[in-house]
Structure 1
Amino acid sequence: MESGEKRYYSIREVADMFNVNISRLRYYEKEFPTLSPKKNRSGDRVYTKTEIDHLREILDLVENRGFKLQGAREYLNKKQGVQNETAAVLDKLKEIRQFMVSLRGRMND
């Protein structure tokens, strides 16, 4: 993280970033379970850089690419599923590589 970058942003700051109403951000929290900013001690929502990036993707799908809310949810769920599958395949490939390295080591002994 860059030294001047904040860790948390208030809901007002995020609304201003995207030029939307605070109520729209709250609405998207209800519509997209994957968007769940934490609340600070006083109960105010605080967004991390990751959540802001996720919100940016949601707004792009809905406002720029013409997705309806249900379609955007399905798209994001499918994307997450593909990412999970890819991670599982990579983990399996790492296991295979580790096995091959240990097998090579035993053959050289």
Structure 2
Amino acid sequence: MPLNQIAFDFDAAPVEKEPEMEPVVVTAVNTMEPSATIIDLTEVEEISEVSVAIIPKKTNKKTTRGRMSLKDMEAGVDLIEVPEDEVLFEKMYYPIGTVAEMFKVNQSLVRFWENEFDILKPKKNGKGDRLFRPEDVKNLKLIYHLLRERKYTIEGAKEFLKNNKKADEKFAMIESLKKLKGFLNELKANL
């Protein structure tokens, strides 16, 4: 940018000078036709009217590709519907669809957890359908607790289960304390 010298004459009346404008390259593209028309407006000396159509850009919402946000995950933790032990042990086997509905997850996630964790051993019938025993459902509940509530990674949950042989007992204690807390909160609300 070249340097300009400015001189001030304080006795003279101020003269408003039109600011010099740098040429602006404006191109217009007509995308409605198969061959786009490009117009260069820098060579036009006088423009009596300019109309500009602003076309909003598509907002590229970040896709999660099936992954749940942590906020949604936390909200869903309280919504799992695993029945009490008495009701759970009434049936010998639960199909994978029923198990996925209990935990409000996809069947593919249950299959993934089955492949990752050795404690899950569902039976398979002649067609290859997975049938989960009540013990498997309880183990899934433990895995769900570790991954979704305590925010362990898959490797961290595997390590936890490997190192803590009494993880089932600790989890049962946590569950019974949650029930007690819920009962006391309900009792408090009724007072």
Q: 1:46 aligns with which of 126, 131, 146?
A: 131
Larger Rg: 2
More helix per residue = 1
Give 1:25's aligned residue: 110
Residue in structure 1 matched with residue 96 of structure 2 by the alignment: 11
CA-to-partner distance for each residue in 1:25-49, whole Å, 9 max, x for gaps? Answer: 0111111122121101221000011
Q: Equivalences for 1:37-76 in 2 at 5 Å?
A: 37-76=122-161
Structure 2 residue ranges without an equivalent (≥5): 1-84, 168-191
The code of the aligned residue for 2:140 comes to: L
- How far did residue 14 of structure 1 move? 0.2
The secondary structure found in structure 1 opposite 2:131 is strand
Q: Moved runs in structure 1, 4+ residues, more than 2 A?
A: 1-4
Deviations 1:50-92 (A, max 9, x none): 0000000001000000111101001011123x68xxxxxxxxx
Higher relative contact order (CA 8 A, sep 6+): 1
Aligned-partner SS, 2:128 = coil
Please give the alpha-carbon distance, in whole angstroms, between the structure 2 residues aligned to 1:2 and 1:68: 31
- The corresponding residue for 1:90 is none
Alpha-carbon distance change, 41 to 73 in structure 1, aligned in 2, over 3 angstroms: same
Alignment gaps of 5+ in structure 1:
84-109
TM-score by length of 1: 0.68
Question: Residue 119 of structure 2: SS of its match in structure 1?
Answer: coil
Percent identity over the alignment?
40
Amino acid at match of 1:8: Y
C-alpha change, 1:68 and 1:2, in structure 2 (3 Å) is closer
Matches within 5 A, 1:72-83: 72-80=157-165
1:36 paired to 2:121 = yes
Q: Which residue number corresponds to residue 106 of structure 1?
A: none
How far, CA to CA, are the matches of 1:66 and 1:36 in structure 2?
A: 23
Letter in 1 for 2:145: D
